[in-house]
Structure 1
Amino acid sequence: MAAHDFTADNLEAAGALGGSPDPGYIRPEAPRTLAALEHWQDLKVGVIIHWGLYSAIGQGGSWSLHRERLGDFTDPPADFTGTDAEYHDWYYDQRRTFHGKEFDPQDWARSCAEAGMRYLVFTTKHHDGFAMYDTAYSNLKSTAEDSALGRDIFGETVEAFQGAGLETGAYFSKADWAHPGYWDRALPVTDRFHNFDIAERPRAWEQFVEFTHAQIDELLTRYGKMNVLWLDAGWVREPVEPIDIDRIADRARELQPDILVVDREVHGPHENYRTPEQTLPEDDPGHPWESCITMTRSWCSLERDDPAKPIEEILGNLLKIVSRGGNYLIGIGPDAEGRMSSSVRERLEEFGSWMQVCGEGIYGTRGASEVSGVAGGGLEWFHTRKDSTLYAFALLQDGPLTHGERSRADGDESAAVTLTLPAGAKTARLLGGEELAIRADADSNPTVMLAESPTAHAVGLAVEL
């Protein structure tokens, strides 16, 4: 099979990431927020679904409206000819033909639930300002008369996912390149920022801020319980683009007392957990965090049957993330017609099969970097902990174990590998398999012999300490 290029879009080059002063993580003080944060850390695996007007032109976000041409995802489609102003009009015109007729939220919910995902973050509005829900404050929405979608996409999706047992949250961009109080098209537009002097036109900016607050209120009052308000466009922040984030956060908790507010990349009291994008820290950073990483090359399928990353890479991300104390937010999304890529479906099924067996060592755990763990077998081990149980996981694509090779389980110890357990280990068992006989030696740590893995791609152990 030909190798695919999964290199992520360079959002940092486009100015989407970073730049905020960092006072260090500020832990919430409110008891309900702290409880919600602990609960969220137990969920461990979520899905972020991008789908919007940009999907109609085969892109994974609305960055082609961004006036700085940096190549690839920031540029219009290669066959477009015209000025930036003409492209702006053409882009929004796509709402008239973007029908997404194949989008079935029940199918997406069922597939994600069976994959073991516990929460959803859905893109209600990207930077282009096109609302994928029935907002009362703009006609640029999926339910508008001139929108071929003709559906409250967010409403349908939330209902389906909540019905499948997942918690739900709202992605919302604080920027809005369609609102005249952000981009006044009577003036030049040169980058991603607002394009007028707020000090000279305070009322225009105030109208944009009120519009933003009103739309967020809609999301938090019409669609049931939300576990997170996931705010994007971190450049929209005080002092240059003051959005009154204190009032947004206070109002969110007034409407949804157990919600987490994540003002992404704006380090401070309203970033309840941090969200590294398409990357993960080398070590446990010591605060709540979540890596959002795409399963395909971009945030949604750019073509029919867009290829997905290998399951070994996806499981590798999972094990690194949870062993370092984080959550894994897997990015997928429909293509222009609303279809789930067959590769994505296959990976979800593979991921779900593994989680069904090994999920006890993922859900409700915390990273275990502070304790000595399992070692040996020529494998790299990742550890989590829940009460007195230490879980150890290792990927197998380069390891000595073969999934389902029964000869190794029939007493042929020459085919097995020796693993060293932490001191004080009482029992050890394979996740999806049997208890392993512990060999004790007064002069060294206990060991077990491991002959095979009951699961493909990665093996898991549970060790009682």
Structure 2
Amino acid sequence: MYTSVQEKRKIPMREKHLLWKALLVIYLCSYSVNSNGQGTQAYDPEKTYTAPTDNQVKAKLSQWQDLKFGLFMHWGTYSQWGIVESWSLCPEDYPFTKRTGPYADNWFVYKQAYENLQTTFNPTHFHPEKWADAAKAAGMRYVIFTTKHHDGFCMFDSKYTDYKITSTKTPFSSNPRSNISLEIFNAFRKKDFMTGAYFSKPDWHSEDYWWSYFPPKDRHQSYDKKLYPERWQRFCDFTYHQIEELMTGYGKLDLLWLDGSWAGMDMAPIVGMARQHQPGLLVVDRHGAPEYVNYLTPEQKIPDHYIPVPWETCMTMGRSWSYVEKENYKPARQLIQMLTDIVAKNGNLLLNIGPGPEGDWHEAAYQRLADIGKWMQTNAESIYGTKPFAPYRQDKFAFTKNEKARYVSYLPAEKEMILPATLSFPLTDINHKSHIALLGATQPLKWEFTGDVVTVSIPETVQQQLAGEAVWVFKIN
């Protein structure tokens, strides 16, 4: 078709250039790459979100929105190699699928060696109470754990596969706490966390997904499901039953966090079953049908504007979702500012830490959480249970409120360690009877307002007292 058009009318070079530029823009708008290089569908919340109608789900969603800050953990046999979770198995040519090591040159040998990691996985330093304590002290209030990633290895005791943490092939199976998912959920529930199960719909270990008769070419099933409907139905049943195991044998679960939208399957029976066992369950079928996406999940990025629907940024504390031996964690100052920024835009922050092969975090991860917790001890009231108010985010200011007060948070520049002597910010509905204070300081502040702008004077003693804070929070009663 394109050739025949060219024959009828020779396209000038400038028009060709504009055509290709337009096509590129269309492509980039429909597909984006996150900071790990992994492709994700474009994030367009206003057009895709559908609010739930189930009253129990609505109530749970409102409760979840008030929590603001959660812990994500990617963990599996891959931690032994310190590589990206699952993706090195995927025969696609992206930076995040690159294979390394002695088996890298042969995909079949590599996959066999990768799956053989099951036989050496023995995280004997696993004590989930230590994680729950650290997360609680940091101000986290919900947890999402990877019960199964794309590689298919189950971190729970599934009876539908032997590729699991509790298999006799896995050394850790002899440990009394071998059912890792159950142990994590129990430990965090005891600390009053909402608990959620991450579950990958694709399963690259399953013969009914990557059928060895047809070697895989990409992340999708390796065969035409229309030509082999019985095999595909078998895989759908397998997925259904594994999720049912999680919904029935792991205590009260609040969230089902589903990944791998490219494994298209009918979600109605899965979600119906899950909510029958777990009434009010929040379901996040990422990039799936809107009715099964109770909140949106931008990955490794923070939207640049207020979003009126529920959403959550999932972000790594370091560079990777999975464990790497020499991790470079974001400074606590940056993480606190990210949380403040997200909450002022109506979102939650789900911060990921990858446990290591022995069953613990890097010491630096604990330190980051401790530093966040120290800030939260003073400023948590500007985070939990708040709602944003206009202008939401403006310049260095973030705006949140609850029924009792409004909060204006000042996010300083990287090297800005002292509050300015005076600060001005927009604020309506204020009068001479209002009271403005800085959280963490007892000394009263002088202020004045002109029109819709408030100017606050900060005494030098207060400047010194609160020097070095990641975010300074003004409270207006």
TM-score greater than 0.5 by the shorter chain: yes
SS at match of 2:337: helix
The structure 1 segments of at least 4 consecutive aligned residues displaced by more than 6 Å after TM superposition are: 19-22
SS, match of residue 157 in structure 1: helix
1:457 aligned to 2:462? no
Matched, 1:40 2:67: no
**Structure 1 residue 298: Cα displacement:** 0.3
Q: Is it true that 1:114 corresponds to 2:103 in the alignment?
A: no
**Map of 1:368 onto structure 2:** 389
Task: Using structure 2 for the length normalisation, give the TM-score.
Answer: 0.85
Say if 1:173 and 1:233, in contact at 8 Å, map to a contact too. yes
- Residues 413-447 of structure 1 show CA distances to partners (whole Å, capped at 9, x for unaligned) of xx722434624331111112226334346767443
Q: Choose the corresponding residue for 1:195, options 222, 229, 240.
A: 222
Q: Residue 157 of structure 1: which of 175, 181, 184 is its match?
A: 184
After TM superposition, the structure 1 = structure 2 runs for residues 55-454 of structure 1, keeping only pairs within 5 Å, are: 55-71=79-95, 73-150=96-173, 151-237=178-264, 243-303=265-325, 306-370=327-391, 380-398=396-414, 401-402=417-418, 416-420=421-425, 422-425=427-430, 426-434=434-442, 436-440=444-448, 445-451=453-459, 452=463, 454=466
Q: Distance in 2 between the 1:210 and 1:77 partners?
A: 34
In the TM superposition, what is the alpha-carbon distance from 1:68 to its structure 2 partner? 1.1
Judge conservation of contact 1:324–1:369 (CA < 8 Å) in 2. Answer: no
Counterparts in 2 of 1:416 and 1:177: CA distance versus 1, 3 Å: same
Instruction: Tell me: CA distance 1:148–1:77, structure 2 relative to 1, closer, same or farther (3 Å).
Output: farther
Q: CA deviation at 1:21?
A: 11
Gaps of 5+ in 1: 1-6, 238-242, 404-414
SS of the residue aligned with 1:329? Answer: strand
Q: Which 10-residue stretch deviates more, 383-392 or 360-369?
A: 383-392
CA distance in structure 2 between the aligned counterparts of 1:174 and 1:264, rounded to whole angstroms: 11
CA contact (8 A) 1:428 1:435 kept: no
Distance 1:53 1:436 in 2: 55
**CA shift at 1:399, angstroms?**
6.7
1:318-374 CA-partner distances (Å, limit 9, x unpaired): 111000000000011212222211111110100111111111110001122357x9x
Matched residue SS, 2:63: helix
> What is the letter of the counterpart of residue 204 of structure 1?
R
Identity of aligned residues (%): 34
Alpha-carbon separation, structure 2, partners of 1:22 and 1:439: 38
Residues 445, 458 of structure 2: 8 Å contact kept: no
Structure 1 equivalent of residue 75 of structure 2: 51
Q: CA deviation at 1:169?
A: 0.4
The structure with more radius of gyration: 2
Q: Secondary structure at the match of 1:287?
A: coil
Distance 2:232 2:349 in 1: 36
**Separation of aligned partners in 1, 2:46 and 2:399:** 29
For the Cα contact (< 8 Å) 1:182–1:194, is it kept in 2? Answer: yes
Which stretches in structure 2 are left out of the alignment for 5+ residues?
A: 1-33
